[in-house]
Chains A and B, each alone.
Chain A
Amino acid sequence: MQVKSMHFKATSSMKLNDAVLQSAMKKAKGKFVDGRAAAVAEIEVWEDIRAHAAALRDRVIANLDAYLLEFEANATKRGAVVHWAESATEANDIIVKIARDNAVKLATKSKSMVSEEISLNDALEAAGVEVVETDLGEYILQLAKEPPSHIVAPAVHKSKEQVAELFVNAHHKPRLTDIPAMTLEAREVLRNKFLSADMGISGANFIIAETGTTLTVTNEGNADMVTTIPRVHVVVTGIEKVIPTLEDFATLIRLLPRSAIGQTISNYLTLTTGVKGQGDLDGPEQMHIVLIDAGRTKLVGRDMKEMLRCIRCGACMNHCPVYQNVGGHAYGWVYPGPMGSVLTPTYVGIENAGDLPNAATFCGECQVVCPVKIPLPDLMRKWRERQFEQKLRPWGERFAIGLWSAFATRPTLYAFSTKVAARVSAWWAGDKRRITWLPGLDGWTDGRDMPAPTGKTFRELYAARRSGGGRLS
């Protein structure tokens, strides 16, 4: 997918003034946040399961090569072909070749963020293959020619009126705005595609080393059609998705749908192991599994390795005050919200995504809700530190941080200057005790006033209490 993360600030301003988006985001926020809270409250051992899950992901990531080889051996035993791709281009070349070798004309596809990363649809279309997205949200976006704005609910930014327009243009039927009727219309269109596709493409929520299994988690059942009906099944997934055992899947599936949308379980959990067996009436004759690096190995063994634990539930974005206001498109690449603010700079370069790790209030909610305990604020802070060190932030910002650091690391100077600053800003604020304009920080004061300090600094008060024998509880 084309990277537009460098335009984060400009796009965010636009999104804040987009009335349709703002209304969609408000609706979604309630459902995601309240839904998760209620579902999690039912599990009294939630924290223990989280800890177990984080540890199991860490174990795999620390021994990624061994578990990938175990997966490859077991998948191969069952007749699947395992391919490895270092980059998006390599992955697309492999899949286009599979399509050509099998004279594929129509491919149905179940939602896959990895395929968005590599722009697989463009590559296949350029090779003359018709690709149809079958997750309802992804189908809507394919009609709109837009990227997803959320990793679980890709069309969360669209209103039903916008969807109605897209359906009229694509289906040439009377305009509907009743959501069940619209869903039925899409079902009928897509049912024909499912039945006539030559190739099915799916992602994988996880791949299981023990059995060589790839698996999908859906509510619609589209992944089941895609992995069962066409004669060729292609799985495209990241190398970090491997988990050791079936029991590990059982652990993670207690966390995933609850964290994502407050569901106790997703409707369809589909484990696919190898090709159609002897005498089987359904299932594909070929199964190809494409394991993609495309930046993932950069995280292995380094200071942001925790990011590889991610199970793509979307809870961090659902709970992020920045995401809730600007939506996913502002982030300019496949992965929005806090997880995207860590991943995007890793995969596409910090020079192309410099604003993302800075688009955070550091309220910490993303870390609190993360089912695998990824310290997202710490990881974003690490990106900020690197940007400072590599002089990738604007001169003014670096100067200000440098200046602050010079004061903050000298306690006497810091005490004196805050004392002066408190009095100067109290004077600056005047009788209203509100600072309405700060030189050089007008962007901040445009939208709000800063309350003025009311007198002495904390240190002064602390010193006074100590010497006065006051309680310091």
Chain B
Amino acid sequence: MSARENILQRIRAQSGRQGETNDAERAAAREHIAKHARSPLPSIAQGDPVTGFIAECARVKTSVEQVASLQAVPQAAARYLSENALQMHAVGWSALASLDWQGAGIDFEDRLANKDDLVGITDCFCAIGETGTLLLLSSPTTPKLHALLPETHICVVSRARIVTCMEDAFGLLRKERGELPRATFFVSGPSRTADIEQTIVIGAHGPYRVHVLLVP
């Protein structure tokens, strides 16, 4: 018998069930899964998602700037980079490539991020009000490394795509995509560690800065 059979059989024997897992038992598990039961929600997951998102971003040290339109994003990004004395050179996701980056003075490259890139620009699938979280989904045009390798991550978030809680984000994902992509990536603030004497240090392995540009 293989390890798999032994383990499954031991589970069943200990649970007082005979034979192999039967169809009815499998179906019962699937039926339960299909209910997608939710736990009671705290009040912070029930208010206005945009207000909540802005407040919670402050808590996780994601900076937020409200921008009038998507077209104004390059100018806002350029202002943020120059105010923080950062490089005006970025690698970004394809969907944003058509904006006028050159006019804003940013050298925008639409390719996979590498170790030398200091600024990564992405948008997101949606964002979550309860925790100030960005949800990024991987795909050929939205690789995860843009939000991970560079020291600065700028993320364009549409107000209309801010949901109240993680459960709603999953609901939206099921409705619009049907299944999970390879990487479903929830980002709440810059990378941090407290492994030396419980002292919080920003910028452990991932970005030092996460900046949200909030568009209508």
Give A contacts to B, CB under 8 Å.
24, 27-28, 31, 42-46, 48-49, 52-53, 56, 59, 62-70, 78, 84-86, 90, 134-137, 140, 153-156, 158-160, 163, 179-180, 182-184, 187, 190-191, 194-195, 209-211, 213, 219-222, 224-225, 227-229, 239, 244-251, 253-254, 261, 264-283, 291, 293, 297-298, 300-302
Q: Which of B7, B28, B60 contacts A265 (CB 8 A)?
A: B60
B193 lies within 8 A of A84 (CB): no
In the complex, what's the smallest C-beta–C-beta distance from A305 to chain B, in angstroms?
Answer: 9
**Chain B contacts of A253 at CB under 8 A?**
166
Per the 8 Å Cβ criterion, residues 73-130 of B in contact with A are 112, 115
B197 lies within 8 A of A64 (CB): no
A273 lies within 8 A of B180 (CB): yes
A266 lies within 8 A of B188 (CB): yes
A183 lies within 8 A of B201 (CB): yes
Smallest CB gap from A161: residue in B: B197
Q: Which of B7, B30, B201 contacts A180 (CB 8 A)?
A: B201
In the complex, what's the smallest C-beta–C-beta distance from B206 to chain A, in angstroms?
Answer: 3
What class of interface size applies to chain B in its complex with A? Answer: 35 or more
**Chain B contacts of A159 at CB under 8 A?**
197
In the complex, what's the smallest C-beta–C-beta distance from B205 to chain A, in angstroms?
Answer: 5
B191 lies within 8 A of A49 (CB): no
Q: Which of B3, B21, B190, B191 contacts A84 (CB 8 A)?
A: B3
Report 16 cross-chain contacts, Cβ distance below 8 Å, ordered by A residue.
A27-B197, A42-B44, A48-B39, A56-B37, A66-B26, A183-B193, A221-B191, A225-B205, A228-B183, A261-B194, A267-B189, A273-B179, A275-B182, A280-B138, A282-B143, A291-B7
Q: How far is the CA of A49 from the CA of B167 in the complex (A)?
A: 14
**Chain B contacts of A271 at CB under 8 A?**
180, 183-186
Residue among A246, A276, A279 with the highest chain B CB neighbour number at 10 A: A246
B32 lies within 8 A of A244 (CB): yes
B29 lies within 8 A of A66 (CB): yes
Smallest CB gap from A261: residue in B: B194
Given the interface pairs A266-B188, A267-B60, the reply to whether A277 lies near B16 with Cβ below 8 Å is no
Smallest CB gap from B45: residue in A: A254
Q: How far is the CA of A237 from the CA of B43 in the complex (A)?
A: 34
A268 lies within 8 A of B2 (CB): no
A66 lies within 8 A of B21 (CB): yes
Per the 8 Å Cβ criterion, residues 8-37 of B in contact with A are 8, 10-12, 14-16, 21, 25-26, 28-30, 32-33, 36-37
